[in-house]
Amino acid sequence: MKRTKILLSISVLVLFLSVVSLGIMAADKPPIVIGLQGPITGAWAYEGEMAKQSCEIAAQLINEKGGILGGRMIEIRVADDACEPKAGALAAMKLISQKDVVASISTYGSSVCEPASNLYEKFKKINIAYGSTAVRLTERGLKYFFRTCGIDSAQGIFFADYVPRVFGAKKIAIMHDNTTYAKGVAEETKKALQPKVDAGEVEIVYYDAITPGEKDFSVPLTKMRETNPDVLYFTGYYPEAALVVSQARDIGITCPFVGGNAAINDEFVKIAGLEKAKGCFMTQEPMPAELPYPESKIFLDAYKAKYGEIPSSPWPVYAADALNIIAYVIEKTGSTDSDVLAEYLRNEVNAVPGVTGSIGFTEKGDREGVPYLMYVVNEAGAFDIYNK
């Protein structure tokens, strides 16, 4: 009996010393701090909160495996940009001024990302956008700017090919909101449709902008109604998209409503109401539920276990992959130096497995090979791939 107690005491002591030792080792290794700039408040706060949660899950999964660089944990440092360009610049400076922040995930909204990315460039800080799709962002020759999402030109090409062919639409109305993102998608779509316009196959019967933040769009919608379009493509964000489709239906515009990839999510359905939301379409990168990769299942299972449901748009998952690729490059290079990381991201990252699929970057910093699909809001307010 005494021998048993002694052995048990020794085992407990060894376990205790092991835990203490691990704690001391962890304390000796400071965390790797990665910034997240996003709209935690403001009109797009729904997206910002999901991005924050996604990055926390991505960091959790890395840390559970022992972190990077021999046991250093990932820590997320959040800066709210309230979906405003000026606030975006302030959020970027907040992260830049913190010397332990080695890189940033930044941000949702091209008009917010643009001034922020200029500051990250000035202060030589890696920044990877997760929801900023304007083509011009990577046309500026920046060294430290990358993105894990797709670009507007690819979305415009997809719409121009798919909608006239599958919907049989000949008279097309395009509405945007003059933000960098929305105007960019509208312009790229118009450009992609031009060969069909020149061939007499389609006609752009309406092309105009609304003002974001307003609540009454009856005047432009009444003007649009007079053109009798076969389809309405709205390239702005979900708060206005919900009001546009609701008010369009109220005044008798019955043609299919297609939103761009920032127009439709769970909040769109709530604001518009299920009756008006169902049957609406959107051009979109694959939604989280359709991601078929092993990394997707691990991530989404962990997200659902913590938050009860998976993200309702792809952008938060692109944020998670921005964190994943930053951690991957730091581990591969053994460095947190921005010049080293930028060089490796641009020249060495190729087909790296991610939550959203294979990750690689062009010389400009764009994500390579992002696909697009057409989705439709079903009878329950969820999103189905439209396979017709």
Query: Would 261 be classed as within a structural domain?
Result: yes
Residue 388 lies in a domain: no
**Given 253, 268, 284, which residue is the final one in a domain?**
284
Specify whether 264 is located in the same domain as 198: yes
Placement of tokens 């694959």 in the chain: 286
Give the tens place of pLDDT for each residue, 221-265. Answer: 999 999 999 999 999 999 999 999 999 999 999 999 999 999 989
Q: Are residues 297 and 321 in the same domain?
A: yes
> Is residue 366 in a domain?
no
- Quick one: which of 175, 195, 154 has its CA closest to 283? 154
- My answer on whether 163 and 237 are in the same domain is yes
Is 255 found in the same domain as 236?
Answer: yes
Strand order in the sheet with 203-209: 203-209, 171-176, 231-234, 257-259, 281-284, 373-377, 383-385
pLDDT (0 to 100) of residue 67? 98
Query: In this predicted model, what pLDDT tens digit does every residue of 330-376 receive, in sequence order?
Result: 999 999 999 999 999 999 999 999 999 999 999 999 999 888 999 99
Kind of pairing, strands 373-377 and 281-284? antiparallel
Same domain flag for 276 and 339: no
Give bridge partners of residue 145 from the DSSP assignment: 127
Answer yes or no: do 126 and 178 share one domain: no
Q: Find the domain containing 167 and state its range.
A: 153-284
Assess whether 199 and 243 both reside in one domain.
yes
pLDDT at position 371: 87
- What pLDDT was estimated at residue 264? 87
Look at residue 369 and tell me if it is in a domain. no
Tokens 């996604």: give the residue: 54
239 with 297, same domain: the answer is no
- Whether 11 maps to a domain, the answer reads no
- Cross-strand bridge partners of residue 171: 203
Q: Is the pLDDT of residue 20 over 70?
A: no
Residues 221 and 315 in one domain: no
The verdict on residue 1 lying in a domain is no
What are the strands, taking DSSP E only, across the chain? Answer: 32-38, 74-80, 101-106, 126-129, 145-147, 171-176, 203-209, 231-234, 257-259, 281-284, 373-377, 383-385
Environment class of residue 63 by beta-carbon count within 10 Å: exposed (0-12), middle (13-18) or buried (19+)? middle
Instruction: Report if residue 237 sits inside a domain.
Output: yes
Our count of domains for the chain comes to 2
Confidence band (pLDDT; 50, 70, 90) for 10? very low
pLDDT score of 24 more than 50? no
Question: Which of 284, 304, 333 is a domain's end point?
Answer: 284
331 in the same domain as 224 = no
Q: Which of 284, 310, 329 finishes a domain?
A: 284
C-alpha to C-alpha distances, 15 to 2, 6, 7, nearest whole angstrom: 20, 14, 12
CA 55 to CA 157: how far, in whole Å? 30
280 and 164 both lie in a single domain: yes
Q: Kindly state whether residue 387 falls inside one of the protein's structural domains.
A: no
Per-residue pLDDT tens over the stretch 116-156: 999 999 999 999 999 999 999 999 999 999 999 999 999 99
Q: Where residue 110 sits, what CATH number does that domain have?
A: 3.40.50.2300
Residues 211 and 303 in one domain: no
pLDDT digits (tens, 9 = 90+) for 57-73: 999 999 999 999 999 99
> Strand, coil or helix: what is 379?
coil
